[in-house]
Amino acid sequence: MSEVKAYGAADSKADLKEIKIERRVIQPRDVKIKITYCGVCHSDIHTVRNDWGGSKYPVVPGHEIIGKVLEIGNEVENIKVGDTVGVGCMVDSCRECEPCKQDLEQFCEQGMVGTYNGRDKHLGGHTFGGYSEEIVVDNYYVLRVPENLDENAVAPLLCAGITTFSPLNHWKVSKGDKVGVIGLGGLGHMGIKFAHAMGAHVVMITTSPGKAEDAKRLGADEVLISKDTDAMKKHANSFDFLLNTVPVGHDINPYLSLLKIDATMCMVGAVEPLEAVHGGSLIMGRKNVAGSLIGGIKETQEMLDFCGEHNIVSDIEMIDMHTINEAYERVVDGDVKYRFVIDMESLRN
Ligand code: NAP
Ligand code: ZN
Ligand code: ZN
C-alpha cells in the first residue's frame, strides 16, 4: 500500500481539506496513475453533502480523472507507462451479469463500483476518487485519451461527456432532429456540443437569459428561456428529443409539452423525486420520459474517440485544489463556465 495526499470531507457539513488515503499495491491487471487533472462534477457536491443519502465519510470525490501511467501490472497489455489515460465514474463491476456482458457495466446487477463512495473490494471500506495524487485502477476501466486533445479539457468528458453522449447516441439523435438540452451547466454544455456534432438542430433551454450568447457559441442554433411561457408555447410539440440535466427535482410538465408525438425526454440530472407528472402530459401525444446513467466503458471509449475526431473538449476553468470549497459554492450558484478542472499539481506542491 502507499499513502497519498487527497482532499476529502469528514462529514456532510464539513469543507474539503487535505487528508491522507491509502492506495493498493498494484495487482497483475492494475494500472497506477499519477493524476494530473480532475473535473468537478455536481455529483461530487451531492455526495459530499449527502444530498442522495448513503455517503460514506471521508468522501474523496472526483470521477473525471486524467493522468499519466506510472506503473502497470504484468498482465496489462494495452496500456504503457507514460501514457495519458482517463478514469471516469466506475472502477469495477462483476463482468459476468447480463448488463456487464452487454457493455452496460453502469447497470451491473451486483452494483458497479463507483470511483468514489463505492465498495473497495481490495482494501475494504469505500473507494476514494480523483481529488488525490494517485489512483490504482484495473486496466479494463482505464480509457485511452486521443492525442490531439488538451488533457485538462478532456477531464470532464469522463463524466459530463459520457452522460450526455450516451443518451443522444441511444435515442439515435441524427441530422435534422430538433433536440433540446435543458440546463446549461457542465453536462448541458457537453450536450450542446455533441448534439451539434451529430447534426441536430439544437435548442438550449435555460433559466438564465445571460447564457444565451455562450449557448450559441457552444453550438446551439436557438435559445429558449424556460420561464418565458409565450416562447415555450411557440415551441410546443416540436422536439424530437429532450435531454434534461437539471440537478434538482422540478416540474417537468412544461418540458413535456415541447415534445412531438412519441418523442422522449431523457432525465440525467435529478436523482431525486420530481414534482407530480400530469398523466395528460404523457397521454396527449404518447410521450416518453426516460433516464440514463453515465455509459459503459466501451461507449465511453467511443465517446472519447468521437471527441478526438470532432475536436470536442469541455470549456473549463482551471482551479487549484485549495480553492475547491469556493468552487463548490459557485457550481451550486450556476457560476461556472462550464466546468471546473483541478490542476492536481496544486495538491503536490
Ligand atoms: P451544473 O453544472 O450545476 O448544471 C446544472 C444546470 O441546470 C445549471 O447550470 C442551470 O442551468 C440548471 N438549473 C439549476 N438549477 C435549476 C432549477 N432549479 N431549475 C431549472 N434549471 C436549473 O450541474 P452538472 O454537473 O451539469 O450536473 C447536473 C446534474 O446531473 C447533477 O444533479 C449531477 O449530479 C447529475 N449527473 C448525473 C449523471 C448521470 O449519469 N445521470 C452523471 C453526472 C451528473 P441554466 O442556468 O441554463 O438553467
Ligand atoms: Zn459526474
Ligand atoms: Zn455485472
> Is the distance from the beta carbon of residue 293 to the nearest atom of ligand 1 less than 6 Å?
yes
**Model pTM score:** 0.97
Q: How many beta carbons lie within 10 A of that of residue 331, not counting itself?
A: 19
CA-proximal residue: ligand 1, atom 30 (nearest): 269
Query: Angle 160-170/297-310 helices, nearest 10 degrees?
Result: 100
What is the reported pLDDT for 121?
94
**Whole-number Å distance between alpha carbons of 15 and 331:** 15
Q: What is the mean pLDDT of residues 216-241?
A: 98
Quick check: is 284 in a domain? yes
Quick check: is 85 in a domain? yes
Task: Name the DSSP letter for residue 119.
Answer: B
Residue 138 and residue 204 in one domain: no
Quick check: is 123 in a domain? yes
Report which secondary-structure segment, H or E, holds 192: helix 186-197
pLDDT in tens, 31-77: 999 999 999 999 999 999 999 999 999 999 999 999 999 999 999 99
Quick check: is 66 in a domain? yes
Quick check: is 28 in a domain? yes
Instruction: Assess whether pLDDT exceeds 90 at residue 279.
Output: yes
Domain containing 270 equals 161-291
Residue 284 and residue 205 in one domain: yes
Report which secondary-structure segment, H or E, holds 152: helix 151-154
Residue 147 and residue 65 in one domain: yes
Cα 104 to middle of ligand 3, angstroms: 8
> Is the distance from the beta carbon of residue 163 to the nearest atom of ligand 1 less than 6 Å?
yes
Looking at the structure of the chain, the number of domains it has is 2
Task: Name the DSSP letter for residue 215.
Answer: H
What is the reported pLDDT for 349?
82
Quick check: is 232 in a domain? yes
Buried b (16+ CB within 10 A) or exposed e, 100-126: beeebbbbbeeebbbbbbbeeebeeeb
User: What is the average pLDDT score of the chain?
Assistant: 97
> Is the distance from the beta carbon of residue 247 to the nearest atom of ligand 1 less than 6 Å?
yes
3-class secondary structure for 283-346?
Answer: HCCCCEEEECCCCCHHHHHHHHHHHHHHCCCCCEEEEEHHHHHHHHHHHHCCCCCCEEEEECHH
Cα 58 to middle of ligand 1, angstroms: 24
Instruction: Assess whether pLDDT exceeds 90 at residue 1.
Output: no
Quick check: is 113 in a domain? yes
Residue 65 and residue 147 in one domain: yes
Q: What is the mean pLDDT of residues 257-262?
A: 98
Residue 114 and residue 32 in one domain: yes
Ligand 3 ion: nearby residues, β-carbon < 5 Å: 93-94, 97, 100, 108
